[in-house]
Amino acid sequence: MSDKKNQIRDSERKYLELLAETYPTANAACTEIINLQAILNLPKGTEHFLSDIHGEYEAFHHVLKNGSGVIRSKLEKLFERELTTRQIRELSTLIYYPEEKLELIKSEPDFNTEWYEVTLYRMIKLCKDVSDKYTRMKVRKALPEEFAYIIDELLYEQSAGKQSYYDNIVQTIIELDRADAFISALAKLIQRFSIDHLHILGDIYDRGSGAHRIMDMLTNYHRVDVQWGNHDILWMGAAAGSEACLTNVLRISLRYGNLVTLEQGYGISLRSLSTFAAEMYENDPCKMFMPKTGDETYSDKEIVELARMHKAILVIQLKLEGQLFKRRDDWGLKNRLLLEDIDYTKGTINLDGKTYPLNDTNFPTIDPQNPYELTDAEADVVFQLKRAFKRSEKLQQHVHFLYAKGSMYLVLNDNLLYHGCILFNEDKTFETVTVEGEKLSGKALLDRFDQLARQGYFATEPQAKIYGRDVLWYLWAGSKSPLFAKSKMATFERYFIDDKETHYESKNAYYKFRDDEDVSDMILREFGLDPAYSHIVNGHVPVKVKTGESPSKANGKLMVIDGGFSRAYQGITGIGGYTLIFNSWGMSLISHEPFSSTAEAIREGLDIVSTRDIVEYNRERIIIRDTDNGASIEIQIENLKRLLTAYRSGEISERR
């Protein structure tokens, strides 16, 4: 026991010695303790939660710029007696898009430099308001280097006796022709402090054409985390070298007529696929494969070309998935080996004992005796595409970010965040899944899937990497994937069988029970949270607002925040997305109307119309002491107090 105590004491001394490198004197330790104690009593920062963005860059970009409507709301409160609705709208647009709006304002015939002075003071007032609850040190760290001293003076040192001093600063900025740059700096600072922490609950990719631009924004965002969605996992798997994931990525991109992300965003050439499809399906009308054109405009000839590529990659996908199903015969996927259930002579398929006619029977690359084997030409296409994905520096950078900042779930500040679901049985118990011989459920299952998803990208041992890559595909479409959670992904049926009864994908029992408060309590306890004051924040399944569905489930304990950022879903939801905001006063849910365009927002001063619903209001403000960050700070304080005691007792010498 004596040796053990000595080891503990030696270990603690080594830690305190390391801490002393940062705080070399007793005074330094005291100063930091005082600083941290003060921080604990500040209001918590504002967290924003968004989900299922699906490549809708312009709408997402605007919501971040306007703080989900918070900036406009603050302007209305600050200047309700001073500015008209039109003036507030113009000032809002200037804050969202300073460079673009300045060009329009300065082109107006009645523009003069007096506008600069008035506008700068209004922006400074708003900047003071949004940064008020943060420490001066935190604000200083966020200041642009060029104007750091000036902004610091204007935000913190104003008093009646020094008004001429401040007036002179503003006038000098204007006289030196730096007002435009100063306005831009203030606008970005206001945006920065309107959102302290951003949570993205999955599905950044697919459908819309701007996923790569969204990822560029997120990689440079001041504080962000991502809970992986099944569409994100698909791109992660493609970047890792999973051929099954890669072909799914291409199929979805071609289905939605979205090649911008692939070709312009990531520099991935589809020439090999285009050449192969043109030769193999030259006389095939490919009617079932015409793209759902979204952001891009194509000629009739290009649409036919995309349809042929679409069919070609789908057939390759079905073959590669079949190979995976055979390779992982313990994953319960044998019922999805559909290519061997086709009668290629009759043009029919047998599913669950029933025969259905196929609406397309032209399969020139499928050998009925060995339907999952790629032809040499198909294998070459896959090789070329796989190499392109692996060599895309931008894609690999974005996927590294998803691994660094992402996870299957997150527990933070009494909130549990995940994209899909927690798997349940019909009797309201956690569903058990066998992974590598171990039976897992609930939190343990998500933890294992998280580990295997990382293994699929980072492992160096070949078999471990292959297994991890296969798991990445399973998380995309496996029946017991918490990110997919349906009985099957009926890809084949939707393309080749007209009878819609075959298209049905039954959801996991979770979706039947997620309005049950007891089930939410059970989930929260599973992740170490107290159901009395904790919440679940969930994405993945769009909320059908237009039919009366509420995003609030289980007596307010579970919030579903997929409100339809993707235009493909807005016909179902009836709105243009949700933002859940958690600030020091509680939680509120913001529903957004569909966004028109950035150009129209700048030109016409149009904002996204947002409606706020209070989810939970606190009579007393939540301070940092009440958060997870506060718990970390209290540990830091305790360690610094131990260091201070060691200094004062002479156990550790000060570094002078």
Q: Is 498:359 a contact under the CB 8 Å cutoff?
A: yes
Token output for 642? 């131990």
DSSP 2-28: HHHHHHHHHHHHHHHHHHHHHS-SHHH
> What pLDDT, in 10s, does the model give residues 425-483?
999 999 999 999 999 999 999 999 999 999 999 999 999 999 999 999 999 999 999 99
Mean pLDDT for 547-558 is 90
Q: What would the mean pLDDT of 572-594 be, rounded to a whole number?
A: 83
Predicted pLDDT of residue 7: 55
Residue 33 or residue 10, greater confidence: 33
CA distance 370 to 330: 21
User: What pLDDT score does 242 carry?
Assistant: 98
pLDDT value of position 325: 96
∠ Cα 537 540 545 (to 5°): 85
The two three-digit tokens of residue 510, written as one number: 């979770």
Residue 320: name the closest of 387, 253, 381 by CA. 381
Contact 424, 513 (CB under 8 A): yes
How is 257-276 classified by DSSP, letter by letter? Answer: T--IIIIIIT----HHHHHH
Helices vs strands, H then E, count in the chain: 26, 17
Residues 604-622 have pLDDT tens digits of 666 666 677 767 777 789 9
Q: Is 350 left (phi over 0), alpha (psi -120 to 50) or beta?
A: beta
Q: What does the alpha-carbon distance between residue 172 and residue 174 come to, in Å, rounded to a whole number? A: 5
Q: How far apart are CA 467 and CA 621, in angstroms?
A: 48
What is the C-alpha to C-alpha distance for residues 627 and 633, in angstroms, rounded to an integer? 10
Whole-number percent of the chain with pLDDT over 70 = 96
Contact 540, 202 (CB under 8 A): yes
> What is the distance between the alpha carbons of residues 72 and 93, in angstroms, rounded to a whole number?
9
**Alpha carbon distance 656, 648 (integer Å):** 15
Q: CA separation (Å) from 152 to 11, 32, 71, 141, 201? A: 43, 22, 21, 11, 35
Name the most confidently modeled range: 49-63, 431-445, 588-602: 431-445
Quick check: 549 and 38 in contact, CB under 8 A? Answer: no
Q: What is the DSSP string of 386-450?
A: HHHHHH-HHHHHHHHHHHHHEESEEEETTEEEESS---B-TTSSBPPEEETTEEE-HHHHHHHHH
> 8 pLDDT exceeds 60?
no
Q: What is the pLDDT of residue 424?
A: 97
Are the CB atoms for 243 and 382 separated by under 8 Å? yes
3-class SS of residue 588: strand
Q: What is the pLDDT of residue 573?
A: 78
The first and second tokens of residue 561, run together, are 């925040």
pLDDT tens by residue, 514-548: 999 999 999 999 999 999 999 999 998 888 887 88
Q: Rounded distance, CA 518 to CA 532, Å?
A: 12
Query: Dihedrals φ, ψ of 590, to 5°?
Result: -105, 120
pLDDT digit string (tens) for 352-407?
999 999 999 999 999 999 999 999 999 999 999 999 999 999 999 999 999 999 99
Confidence of residue 1 (pLDDT cuts 50, 70, 90): very low
Least confident of 145-149, 322-326, 468-472, 608-612: 608-612
Report pLDDT digits (tens) over 195-223: 999 999 999 999 889 999 999 999 999 99
**C-alpha–C-alpha distance, residues 48 and 617, integer Å:** 16
Q: Rounded to two decimals, what is the model's pTM?
A: 0.93
Is the CB of residue 256 less than 8 Å from the CB of residue 294?
yes
Q: What is the DSSP string of 626-640?
A: GSHHHHHHHHHHHHH
Note the pLDDT of residue 528: 97
CA 456 vs CA 35, 184, 430, 450, 459: distances in Å: 43, 43, 26, 10, 6
| DSSP state letter for 623 | B
Give the bridge partners for 588, in sequence order: 581, 614
Alpha carbon of 568 to those of 63, 234, 496, 653: distances in Å? Answer: 18, 19, 22, 65
For residue 366, give the nearest of 415, 316, 331 by alpha carbon. Answer: 316
